[in-house]
Structure 1
Amino acid sequence: MLITSLTLLLLVACAQSSGPASNKPSDWRQYGKEEALVGYVKQTEQELAAEATVSVTNEIYSAYSDGYEQGRAEYCKQDPKILGKKGELYRGICDELRPTFRTWYNNGKASRGRSLY
């Protein structure tokens, strides 16, 4: 019984979000922003439609896209070296906005195991 409960909890925790269950553009704008703020790659309209529980119209995708770009700009302002040093996963969403982001991220990631004596 305990194993079944733990398995169910793990499955729920790992499930990807299918987006808001509403047709309100403001909800989809917020969803796009939140996706970018955690570093997820922007979904295409087809990918979003395949996962969504509502019909993804041009208006909804545009709102998602606007929110995503706003969140991406904010995400890419962080120090990539710290992101790497913390061991966070970087999916490449800043490569176009800040071409050196990945290099600094990798430098931070490489310095994780180092300590000063």
Structure 2
Amino acid sequence: MKQKVVSLMMLLLVGCTASQSEVKEKNTDDWFQYGEQRAKNGFLVQEKETLESANPEEAVTEAFYNAYLEGHTSGTTIYCSQEAYILGLREAPYFGICDQVMPDFRAEYEKGKNHKKE
């Protein structure tokens, strides 16, 4: 019985050690998803240097940054397809992500935002 308990404890210790040492490194899919999610939340694209500063433990390679940019472009399309007027009515923050893609987006957003004030 004592041997079974010791064996079980050893297995638990090995399992805990293995799970703690397994740190998932980011790949291009992760950077794509990160860029897409930021854009879906309305945030402007970040420069590579800004990403490196925000993630000092990770190397932001050209491939990673390009994946981030592709994801951001995808997320921008999704974000800018929503009704700007409704976004303004909800008084959600708008950081200008659609200004280059849809010049009328900001005007519609402002109309919605100012609708409640009238």
TM-score of the superposed pair, with normalisation by structure 1: 0.77
Determine the structure 1 residue equivalent to 2:31.
Answer: 28
Considering fraction of residues, name the structure with more helix: 2
CA distance in 2, matches of 1:112, 1:70: 31
Q: Is the 8 A contact 1:39 1:72 kept in 2?
A: yes
- Deviation for aligned residue 1:41: 1.1
2:92 maps to amino acid: E
Which has the greater radius of gyration?
A: 2
Determine the structure 2 residue equivalent to 1:101.
Answer: 105
Q: Is the 8 A contact 1:33 1:64 kept in 2?
A: yes
- Deviation for aligned residue 1:57: 0.4
Determine the structure 2 residue equivalent to 1:67.
Answer: 71
State how many pairs are aligned. 94
- Deviation for aligned residue 1:113: 3.6
Identity of aligned residues (%): 35
Supply the RMSD in Å over aligned alpha carbons.
Answer: 1.1
Q: Is the 8 A contact 1:86 1:112 kept in 2?
A: no
Structure 1 unpaired stretches of 5+: 1-20
Determine the structure 1 residue equivalent to 2:90.
Answer: 86
- Deviation for aligned residue 1:33: 0.3
Q: Secondary structure at the match of 2:86?
A: helix
- Deviation for aligned residue 1:109: 0.1
Structure 1 runs of 4+ with >4 Å offset: none
